Chain A
Amino acid sequence: MASLLQPDRVLYLVHGEKKIRSSLSTLYFCRYCSELRSLECVSHEVDSHYCPSCLENMPSAEAKLKKNRCANCFDCPCCMHTLSTRATNIPAPLPDDPSKTAMKKAYYLACGFCRWTSRDVGMADKSVASGGWQEPDNPHTQRINKLIEYYQQLAQREKLERDRKKLARRRPYMPLAFSQHTIHVVEKYGLGTRLQRQRPGAPITSLAGLSLKEGEDQKEINIEPAQALDEVEPLPEDYYTRPINLPEVTSLRQRLLQPDFQPAGASQLHPKHKHLLIKRSLRCRKCEHNLSKPEFNPTSIKFKIQLVAVSYIPEVRIMSIPNLRFQKECQVLLTLTNPVESITHVTLVGCEEGDPEDINSTAKVMVPTKELVLAGKDAAADYDELAEPQDFQDDPDVVAFRKSNKIGFFIKVVPQREEDGDVTVSFKIRHDFRNLAAPIRPSEEDDAPTEAIWLTHHVELSLGPLVA
């Protein structure tokens, strides 16, 4: 049953600032801290920008200049899909000889999904395939730019004043100290400093040079305050009597995607450049190591660094569930998969009474007490016919089957609550982990090349509703 393999059936607990329970496929494993990490306890950083349709890479500075939009690709203003350029042949008079007409190619934009074309809004066909399309200018651009400059200058001035006050109060042994508050002020009007995480005590070099600029930048930018008007344009006379042409009215989504104009009529919807997407890298907050770093090339989906939990922690999956009855003992078949290439020993421990992590379980569970041994993942096992099957003495009451690096085992479940809802069961997995990333110290004792440390994870299973 495919529904037993759904990701939210088996949840692992992550110890972080918040206790997060999520499936192993969404978690990362920091092998320097030897702990599970979820998306909420890592820091996300932007790696690169790229356009999703033409897959063109763009450096961050250029992306910021173009307001995170691609230069070549357009979005349909009607259904937000990517527009494609189509060509038609148009007879046009030759420039030398007006009497003869030759077939020239004319290009227009068309949407394959909703059949919108650039001719619908009155945009003329262009003679070049790309680069001829312009977005209409916002009439308020100048005023907005002037306002932005003014406020940026104001923010700088405020920040400098605050810094001066702090410096005057602080002891001389902290020359470049400044409060975290000033960093927020700098970011208030988007001065454009690179986002740097606040490390207490560490100086940020980009702000250090500001004290030098103080003498130069004395230009005062004055803005005219906005004027309130008494008279408003009157509504047209037939505003209440004119019948509505529904296809012409734009939807809210179409309107708000063009915040410059927000046209009410569909014949004024112009196409906008396509938004860029980012590739992000993840970093553990405690040890500052990268957990996930994608490749720079937008066409590649691989990772340079990929420390996902599925490739380090044994995964528990539900294989089959019998009919669960209230207060009756049922046997559930689970599988454990070993992701590493070495033999792993796994012990399962039930949760004790009053365990602070055990808040969701609605049934008592009896896990096998013996240690389960999982064979290593052998990539060549399918092709190697002469390999002897490893002989593990398996207790048939506990181990149902064994297949390369997977093992099926039974647990006994006694549902304790008769209410509606899923029967939830939790236990702890304790397994040995060999850290291959640790530096190999030249040891004179004959130690094992890598020492195993024991990790414990709290696992919760959702077994489905009770059968009456």
Chain B
Amino acid sequence: MTPFMLRRIRNRLSKKLKSINKMSDKQNAQKSAKIAAGAVVCVESEIRGEVTIGARTVVHPKARIIAEAGPIVIGEGNLIEEQALIINSYPENIAPDSEGVEPKTMTIGINNVFEVGCMSQALKIGDNNVIESKADLGRNMILTSGCIIGACCQVNTCEVIPENTVIFGSGCQRRVQTERPQPQTLQLDFLMKILPNYHHMKKTVKTTSAVTPAKN
């Protein structure tokens, strides 16, 4: 490669970058996910948009975290398993490019478990919740702490789920349990040791200021 050709390639690349930057003026500057040190995020997972992932969180391959309509902030100690989908999407009746739509941040607390194949659009999830396989959470739900959304339960109401509630069964029956589910520390430690043996990890960002999810 002659230096002349190298210069031409560099010029073309810089022009493309500038045009992309101009298009994304409306959006924020953060394009890649901010992954805290200590988190284990596999390369095969799909993370799009502004996503902040806390320490000791494990994201399995084929998990998808998509921040379309706003940023997603994920706390510490979470376990996001395969084919789980955490998506901050536009509500159905609003077109993506319309003006006046403020991006809302989706916050997820600590020690949550998103089991295989679940989908969560809930804007606020507290601590120690378990969303079991193939569960479906709507956008207007707010989970407090200790809630368990059972397998295949679709919950799409506009409400705050009280603490320690279990939603189970085909009719989404509810009951309250007396103690919250235990944090999966053993499982998290095991995965943090084993996953790097078999997968490549996404690069973590050394954050000097700790990223804490906004608690309202």
Question: Which chain A residues have a beta carbon within 8 Å of chain B's beta carbons?
Answer: 78-79, 113-117, 119-120, 246-248, 266
Produce 1/0 per residue, B131-174, CB < 8 A to A.
Answer: 00000000000000000101000000000000001101100011
Question: A114 is contacted by which of B169, B178, B179 (Cβ under 8 Å)?
Answer: B169
Contacts of A266 in B (CB 8 A): 175
Contacts of B181 in A (CB 8 A): 115
Interface flag for B214 (CB, 8 Å) = no
For residue B157, give the distance in angstroms from its CB to the closest CB of chain A: 15
Most buried by B among A114, A119, A246, A248: A114
Partner of B166, one of A115, A119, A248: A115
The docked-state distance in angstroms from the alpha carbon of A247 to that of B162 is 11
Are A79 and B177 in contact, with the CB atoms below 8 A? no
Could you say which residues of chain A place their CB within 8 Å of the CB of B179? 117, 119
* Given A113-B150, A115-B148, A115-B181: A79 and B168 interface contact (C-beta under 8 Å): yes
Query: Are A116 and B175 in touch, CB under 8 angstroms?
Result: yes
Interface status of B176 (Cβ within 8 A of chain A):
yes
Shortest Cβ distance from A248 into B: residue: B176
Q: How near does chain A come to B102, taking the closest CB pair, in angstroms?
A: 36
A79/B169 in contact, CB under 8 A: yes
Q: How far is the CA of A78 from the CA of B176 in the complex (A)?
A: 11
A120 to B175, CA, bound (A): 11
- Whether A247 contacts B176 by the Cβ 8 Å rule is yes
**Complex Cα spacing A1 to B32, Å:** 49
Q: Are B178 and A120 in contact (CB under 8 A)?
A: yes
Which of B165, B174, B175 has the most chain A CB within a 10 Å cutoff? B175
10 cross-chain CB contacts under 8 A? A79-B168, A113-B168, A113-B169, A114-B175, A116-B175, A120-B177, A120-B178, A246-B174, A247-B165, A266-B175
Task: Tell me if A119 and B178 are in contact (CB < 8 A).
Answer: yes
CB distance from B83 to the nearest CB of A (A): 21
Total B residues in contact with A, Cβ cutoff 8 Å:
14
Given the complex of chains A and B, what is the CA–CA distance between A78 and B174 in angstroms?
10
Given A115-B168, A116-B175, A119-B179, 9 additional A-B pairs, CB 8 A: A79-B173, A113-B168, A114-B166, A114-B168, A114-B173, A116-B177, A119-B178, A247-B174, A247-B175
Alpha-carbon separation in the docked complex, A259 to B174 (Å): 23
Please measure, in the bound complex, the distance between the C-alpha atom of A247 and the C-alpha atom of B167, giving whole angstroms: 11
* Chain A residue at minimal CB-CB distance from B168: A114
Chain A neighbourhood of B176, CB < 8 A = 247-248
Q: Is the CB of A117 within 8 A of B169?
A: no
The smallest C-beta distance from B58 to any residue of chain A, in angstroms, reads: 22
Taking CB atoms, residues of chain B closer than 8 Å to A248 are 176
**Residues 160-216 of B contacting A (Cβ, < 8 Å):** 165-166, 168-169, 173-179, 181
CA of A248 to CA of B148, assembled, Å? 17
Tell me the bound Cα distance from A300 to B173 in angstroms: 36
B174 to chain A, nearest CB (A): 6
Cβ contact within 8 Å between A117 and B175: no
Q: Which of chain B's residues has its CB closest to A78's CB?
A: B175
CA distance in complex: A246, B176 (Å): 10
Q: Which residues of B contact A119 (CB under 8 A)?
A: 178-179
A228 CB to nearest B CB, Å: 38
Least CB distance from A112 to B in Å reads: 10
Bound together, the chains give a CA A115 to CA B180 distance in angstroms of 10
How far, in angstroms, from A247 to B168 measured CA to CA in the complex? 13
A-contact bits for B98-140, CB 8 A (1 contact / 0 none): 0000000000000000000000000000000000000000000
Inter-chain CA distance A116–B176, complex, in Å, is 9
Give Cα distance in the complex from A116 to B166, angstroms: 9
Q: Give Cα distance in the complex from A73 to B150, angstroms.
A: 24
Q: Using Cβ atoms and an 8 Å threshold, which residues of chain B touch A246?
A: 174
**CA gap between A116 and B175 in the complex, in Å:** 9
The answer to whether B177 and A115 touch across the interface, beta carbons within 8 angstroms, is: yes
Ranked 7 nearest A-B pairs via Cβ: A247-B176, A114-B168, A115-B166, A120-B178, A247-B175, A115-B148, A115-B177
Docked Cα-Cα span, A248 to B168, in Å, equals 16
A246 vs B165: C-alpha distance when bound (angstroms): 12
Contacts of B174 in A (CB 8 A): 246-247
Which residues of the other chain, B, contact A114 by a CB distance below 8 angstroms? 150, 166, 168-169, 173, 175
Cβ of B178: which chain A residues have Cβ within 8 Å of it? 117, 119-120
Min CB–CB distance B184 → chain A (angstroms)? 14
Specify the chain A residue showing the minimal Cβ separation from B178. A120
Q: Please, how many angstroms separate the alpha-carbon atoms of A117 and B169 in the complex? A: 17
Distance A116 CA – B169 CA, assembled complex (angstroms): 13
The chain B residue with its CB closest to the CB of A251 is B173
List of A residues within 8 angstroms of B169 by Cβ: 79, 113-114
A116 surroundings in chain B (CB, below 8 A): 175, 177
How far apart are the CA atoms of A117 and B182 in the complex, in Å? 13
